[in-house]
Structure 1
Amino acid sequence: MAEALQKLRHYVPTVIAVVILVAAWEIWCRVGNVSPTMISSPSEIVDATIDTWPTLWPATLVTAYEGFVGFALAVLCGIIIGIVFYCSRVLNAALFPLLAAAQTMPLITIAPLFIIWFGFEISGKIAIVAVFGLFPIAVQTIRGLEAVPQFYSDVALTCGATKLWTLWHVKLRVAARQIYGGIRISAAYIFATAATAEYLGARKGLGIWLQAAYNSFRTPLIFSATFVIVALTAVLLIVVNVSELLLLGPASEDEDPDAQE
């Protein structure tokens, strides 16, 4: 209980800062007579969100589905690619630069190809999310496995373990914290990628909803879609943190008790 209260106190300054910023934003829009088409006040955004919720919610569900499924594929493929590249120096040398180069391509140049291949269906957006989300996971998987001290493997192999068993039960377990670092980086922009892909070509989703708001110059709705994407990202990050806690336990348990002696 004490540890939970301490963690809650850690977020108190953030909550206070957000409240102050929102209040200042509202006062500035009201006192400064700012045009609603330029920037909307928080109260106008809330009202617009409530009024358009019957259409905003279905669009949110589409983008959420694309994001969560694409993210799951990115995690799976990213870890597998990282393991394969770690185990094969030849593949790492031959293909890793190509993987890195693929990540430098802007989404606006890749999305038309996926539209040609998949059409305007949801599957195309899932594929884009997975492709753009797997790189940091693969990189952190490789780096995490390379950072595992050699004596972990030596002890396991000396005790009769196979190399495959050692990789799965020893090296991946030791590297798991660093792999989760890559997963968090990927999760931070999953839904932004999904919405952008929808904006460039889709039938439904937050990207299309955002495009309609922009075309009609309804500024509050643009903010509504933005905050929904932020909320979805926050939910995904919470899921990642909870899964890490359940699978690996608190990070404090990984500390060496003899390190401070």
Structure 2
Amino acid sequence: MSNVAAAEAPARPFRWLRVPRGLLTAAGVVFAALLLLEIGTRIGVVPRFLIPQPSAVLVALFEGLANGHLVYHAGVTTFEALSGFAIACVLGLVLAVLIAEVRLMERAVYPWLVAIQATPKIALAPLFIIWFGFGVSSKIAVATMICLFPVLVTTITGLHATPPGLIETARSMGASRWQVLRYIRFPSALPHIFAGFSLASVFAFTGAIVGEFIGASAGLGHLVLEANSRIRLDEAFAALIVVALLGLAFFYAIDFASRRLLTWKH
């Protein structure tokens, strides 16, 4: 009887809001590490001029959030990262389809994209500053460059991984090349595409910060450099914590979207 009642019980509301178990474990490890670091800095085992006290970083974090200083600069960096991510996703999908469908594009363009990816982005960032200026455009360009390759490669892999039997069946029923791409190959590649989105979401904030390190008057990267110049490691770490939290939130947002949209996969 209890089994029948359990089977007929309605699904728990807000089940999708559950916190990933791995995230809770990571939070516990981080808390333990910070506690040991706090003790080490207080008793003098860890020099404070190398690593600030976690409590001092927490105070700087709350002060920056309370006065809006961190919020403003976090907004600038978030805009740069999300803009670069969006452009990279659109550009990566378009290029991936062209490379997967047109063999000439694969031979002529793909090697150059690999060469660009192999070039350290920190070496390209000064060029973007020259080309696009010191505003947000250069940071968006760097974020786009860093995010592009994961989306491109995973999409190409997904398009090539479509089961041949599905393609042959569609063609035998008179489907055109565009219809095969739209209804067979692209839906089949969606798990790979979202995997690329997840990777790109992590790199988006990295690209924005790299661009801000080269030259900027706003953003979390600018805050880190400014705090380092004043030897305020607590403020620098507070800005880095905000970057990490933003990247983590964006990554899990993409993961959540993937689970909601690709229910058949999960």
TM-score, scaled to structure 2: 0.88
Letter in 2 for 1:128: V
Name the structure 2 match of 1:46.
58
Could you tell me whether the CA contact under 8 Å between 1:37 and 1:218 is conserved in 2? no
**Residue number among 195, 201, 213 corresponding to 2:209 in the alignment:** 195
Q: Identity across aligned pairs (percent)?
A: 30
Aligned to 1:123: 137
Do the aligned residues in 2 keep the contact of 1:213 with 1:222 (CA within 8 Å)? Answer: yes
Read off the aligned partner of 2:134 and give its amino acid letter. F
Q: 3-state SS of the aligned residue for 1:125?
A: helix
* d(CA) in 1 for partners of 2:204, 2:112: 21
Partner AA of 1:16 in structure 2 = G
CA offset at residue 12 of structure 1?
4.0
Deviates more, 1:92-101 or 1:27-36: 27-36
Indicate how the Cα distance of structure 1 residues 46 and 12 shifts in structure 2: closer, same or farther if over 3 A, else same.
Answer: closer
Gaps of 5+ in 2: 1-10
- CA root-mean-square deviation: 2.0
Alignment correspondent of 1:167: 181
Is 1:154 matched with 2:168? yes
1:4 Cα offset (Å): 6.2
Distance in 2 separating the partners of 1:6 and 1:187? 21
Q: Which amino acid aligns with 1:73?
A: I
8 Å Cα contact 1:107-1:197 kept in structure 2:
no
Contact 1:147 1:175 in 2 (8 A): yes
Segment of structure 1 superposing worse, 153-162 or 78-87: 153-162
Structure 1: give runs of 5+ residues left out of the alignment: 253-261
User: TM-score when scaled to structure 1?
Assistant: 0.89
SS in 2 for 1:202: coil
Q: How many residue pairs get matched?
A: 252
Cα distance per residue 1:197-236 (max 9 Å; x no partner): 1110122111111110010011111111111111111121
Looking at structure 2, the residues matched to 105 and 8 of structure 1 have their Cα atoms a distance apart, in angstroms, of: 35
CA distance in 2, matches of 1:6, 1:129: 31
The CA distance in 2 between the partners of 1:93 and 1:190, in whole Å, is 28
Counterpart check, 1:80 vs 2:94: yes
Distance 2:63 2:17 in 1: 37
Deviation at 1:145, TM superposition (A): 0.8
Specify the alignment match of 2:42 in structure 1: 30
Q: Deviations over 1:58-108 (max 9, x none)?
A: 111000000011101111111111111001111111111110110122223
